[in-house]
Structure 1
């Protein structure tokens, strides 16, 4: 991994903006999960915060004692884990349905030892308890117990404990979970969004009988959710689709098991090993030639995701992207100021997933009709979209076309489009 410090000019602008926001105001700032131990970064943040009104507070959570020392805070409060009896009660609720313990008392002693090794971590208890849900084989319980690390006041030991639940997953779920490390820590995703990406990169097994790939992928998702690899996000509401995210330690676990598969560009740093990566995500402020060079070293790349949350919105995608990444299955350019796609996109004949949600696209190039393997085309909230390519009915594998439009029955046309391709208007 390589790391560079922030651009001084951008940092100065951010400091000024932060100072303006807090100047003369009393505020409470919560920094959750701080990991950077360099005092330089804290000094850069603290300087503009001094403009706040007396009585302002900054609350920091971290797993490193050095973080609190560098911040020169009040004496840190060390949080203890759950008491063992509380952990045991939680584990019982997760491992068996209510009342079932009476039929499996032989597992109680093993369960107690498992709980002790979870070191008071409710996340570890939930993960291991979910792993053993309704399993009654005593040898399987002993196997899980033997795989757990001995108790230790070390966050790394908790990570090893969580890894046991990963190690006991079937291969297809391990692959689906590892893929999720492509998202930044704290990133919120939708169930359908993730399932479609899994399908696009080939992580969902072929359906049996009449079951669809989406149905099978949904089962994969639910299994990981029940095992606490995903949590429902508290920011979700009834007006929007349910959002999910991975807890911080689970995200670290995903990164540790996928370091050879996922390449991430964020915080002006490169994370992961370049050369044989299958998935790449970028949150950089500037996609410079060096960045693209690092990406193109991965000839077998299957997914490219460009997230605009922390970077400068992209107005165009270079032609050489499509010439160098010919094996792409998924291309996600959502919520960027993208105004056009080059004709070269037609070279991505293996592409199954194309997300242009919320872009400024007016027209798609006719070469899109060459993407015969395309399964998902997301064009929702593309408010400037005027028309679709006329030959889109040739996309015989297309199963999901995202268009948030209204049909005007009096004018017999879509309100927001000047034309619809034959075969797609009904």
Structure 2
């Protein structure tokens, strides 16, 4: 089972709305030793559940996960990690879940400068899980995982489930493989120590006038207890270090940790980092492979009000942010001033999306229908961003117009908390 830790310092994390609109980690995770945005769409929802099992001591392993009643399962992701020989890793790996083959693509690794590099894989098993009734609501489900065949170590596997209870939370996910080991030496020159630490993951968010509670979930492998490691959580310059959270709580070599963290009023950014540390005990610092981190946050109760895209276009000095999710401020202004000639659906949607994002970052409450439209708009704009247009015969054009209509209603105050007096 997960071990839950509540920070005693002022710690808060949050992902801004509309498909992680103000994420400041823009690099994708796939193939890099750094966590980043997943290369697949992530479903919106109200809650994330994570459970796993360590497999270094044998297979099969059991993942037990309780799904509450009165929810829908929006998405199910399967992660697994291990350490092959450096020249023996594969881009697509296949394991078995409940006796069924599951193929997943590498999302991180092989980690550099290691003779036995760490690698991480991910598969979206939403459809298969539904078809085979692997996860049923209102009961505890058991999944049997086996078939990991890494040449050095089979670290473990974990399941991430996004639930939808009819409300919407702010949810962000980062994944990949980021390896840490303090200190490490390069094989061809052992006299040179290398300080391997993970790259901090940043989550940015719109401030609220009220305190809230957010939740971080982490999947990390390769730690051999009692070798020391730590989790750092920094909020608005205040850092809390947890040194007892990584204890092979899902079995040897795998940890799934859930952290409930207070979010103070006015907070706008949180940083999470996993560390291999020297705790002065004489024990060798832990090696660790960080595969996954998620953030979920309850929506603020404040209402606020919205401005139209015309207001944002002509009041650039009033913008609450210099960096938007899909555009720099300069790019966003140029986009807003570009007329959608010939009914350019890409620009029609991009205009309203930029306006909605600015309203949200400005602290305005968001109805669920707008949040869902924003998620879809994010991926649609990203899909056609290089082209700057959506083909008129593409079904995506009609979808873009529909989504723009919802976001336009929000920006104009027809839905949501209402329009601001300019």
TM-score, with structure 2 as normaliser: 0.21
Q: Which has the higher contact order (CA 8 A, sep 6+)?
A: 2
User: Which protein has the bigger helix share?
Assistant: 1
Q: Whose radius of gyration is greater, 1 or 2?
A: 1
- Larger fraction in strand: 2
